[in-house]
């Protein structure tokens, strides 16, 4: 391959920047001048703006990896290792993973080699057909995260089923397959998302599917037991992709730091500036709700903003609501609220402190928390009867609720 390689970064189909790999395994990121000079430019990320909202344009090179914003577009953990093996590259060579996966990324981004540069041969026996198959097979797993999931399209012939495209590109649904470690995770998430919608949170369409209702699954996946979960993608619309970014991207932290580099208070501070009063109230609803159900995995990547007008950030619809305490006993939230991570200590006083430090008015924060607890109490008994909540999940949540300061106070 050439000593210097360039990937184009496209936002809503327009080239706005480049990622350049230079000798020494260093990656340079640079915005194009037309994007810099455009006063109406669409927002790529809040992390590329200073405290006054001005675009940052001076970036240091990154060794081996790509800058944090782009690293957060890639899958994590064992899934990344699996994908890298299929692509024939090291899982730390993020530039090449972006090259392979860049055609169907979260949001309105696409990344492709400049001037049609060919995917490099990774061994002496590589030919173009082998490289094409490797790219296609890998792309089908391209969505960020650690869970095995795919982008899929409607399949009217399956009576409401879905099809995973052969080339891995396109689709307005995300399909999450059953967990190999824990029973009933799709049913758990479907139930928690449905309950959140009943309580008034903004939730995308969700549905449970039998595995045989999904066409195009890769070889070996049909052996997984249980139902899968389909979630309508809120970063896709009838007129094209809608840009989003998660809060690991907003704060410019590496994916592996999603549990430790920021807090709920930091997220609330950003939303207070960017999303206004309703965005903050929705954030408090979700923060309280996930505490009530015992979701100990609401890390930075499980909160996102969306750019519906291409420029202004608002809180994106909810996702990844799962009662994790049903599988792993844990009394600590994924990130700090403000002073504590202990869920039982998340109290009205902690909320008042969060509001003060995030420069938010106290009354709507506290009132929203009280209202969410009250609505949860009203809806939970019926939810246990009408949603596919396993008895052990319901029992774990019931026991958890008795420990929470917020429940006794509100």
Q: Residue 393: CB partners within 8 Å, gap ≥ 6?
A: 184, 188, 191, 323, 326
User: Does residue 228 sit in helix, strand or coil?
Assistant: strand
297 is catalytic: yes
Provide the total of helices (H) and of strands (E) in the chain, helices listed first. Answer: 13, 16
Q: Contact at 8 Å (CB) between 222 and 206? A: no
Q: Give the whole-angstrom CA distance, residue 385 versus residue 136.
A: 43
Q: From edge to edge, which strands make up the β-sheet containing 243-246? A: 243-246, 304-307, 314-315
The distance in angstroms from the start CA to the end CA of the chain is 63
CB 241 within 8 A of CB 12: yes
Percent helix, percent strand, percent coil in the chain, to nearest 5: 40, 20, 40
DSSP conformation class of 133 = H
Q: Is residue 395 within a helix (H) or strand (E), and if so which, with residue range?
A: helix 391-401
Single out the catalytic residue among 297, 330, 349, 379. Answer: 297
Active site residues: 297
């Amino acid at each position: 391959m050439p000593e210097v390689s360039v990937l184009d970064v496209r936002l809503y189909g327009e080239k706005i920047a480049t990622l350049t790999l230079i000798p020494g395994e260093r990656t340079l990121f640079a915005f194009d001048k037309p994007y810099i000079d455009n006063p109406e430019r669409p927002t790529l990320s809040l992390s590329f703006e200073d405290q006054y909202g001005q675009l940052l344009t001076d970036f240091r090179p990154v060794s081996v990896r790509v800058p944090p914003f782009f690293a957060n577009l890639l899958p994590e953990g064992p899934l990344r290792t699996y994908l890298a093996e299929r692509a024939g590259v090291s899982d730390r060579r993020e530039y090449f993973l972006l090259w392979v996966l860049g055609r169907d990324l979260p949001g309105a981004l696409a990344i492709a080699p400049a001037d049609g540069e060919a995917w490099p041969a990774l061994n002496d026996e590589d030919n173009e057909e082998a490289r094409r198959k490797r790219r296609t097979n890998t792309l089908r797993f391209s969505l960020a995260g650690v869970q095995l999931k795919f982008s899929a399209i409607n399949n009217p012939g399956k009576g409401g089923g879905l099809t995973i495209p052969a080339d891995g590109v396109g689709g307005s649904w995300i399909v999450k397959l059953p967990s190999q470690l824990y029973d009933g995770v799709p049913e758990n998430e479907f139930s928690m998302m449905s309950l959140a919608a009943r309580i008034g949170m903004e939730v995308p369409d969700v549905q449970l599917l039998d595995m045989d209702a999904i066409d195009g699954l890769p070889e070996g996946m049909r052996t997984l037991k249980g139902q899968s979960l389909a979630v309508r993608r809120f970063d896709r619309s009838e007129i094209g992709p809608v840009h989003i970014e998660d809060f690991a991207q907003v704060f410019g932290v590496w994916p592996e730091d999603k549990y430790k580099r920021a807090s709920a208070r930091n997220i609330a501070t950003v939303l207070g500036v960017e999303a206004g009063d309703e965005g903050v109230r929705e954030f408090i609803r979700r923060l309280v709700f996930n505490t009530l159900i015992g979701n100990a995995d609401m890390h930075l990547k499980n909160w996102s903003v969306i750019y519906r007008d291409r420029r202004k950030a608002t809180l994106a619809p909810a996702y990844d609501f799962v009662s994790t305490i049903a599988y792993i006993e844990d009394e600590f939230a994924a990130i700090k609220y403000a002073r504590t991570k202990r869920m039982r200590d998340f109290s009205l006083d902690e909320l008042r402190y969060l509001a003060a430090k995030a420069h938010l008015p106290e009354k709507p924060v506290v009132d929203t928390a009280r209202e969410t607890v009250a609505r949860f109490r009203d809806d939970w008994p019926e939810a246990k009867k009408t949603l596919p909540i396993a008895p052990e999940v319901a029992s774990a949540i019931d026991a958890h609720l008795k420990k929470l300061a917020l429940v006794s106070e509100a």
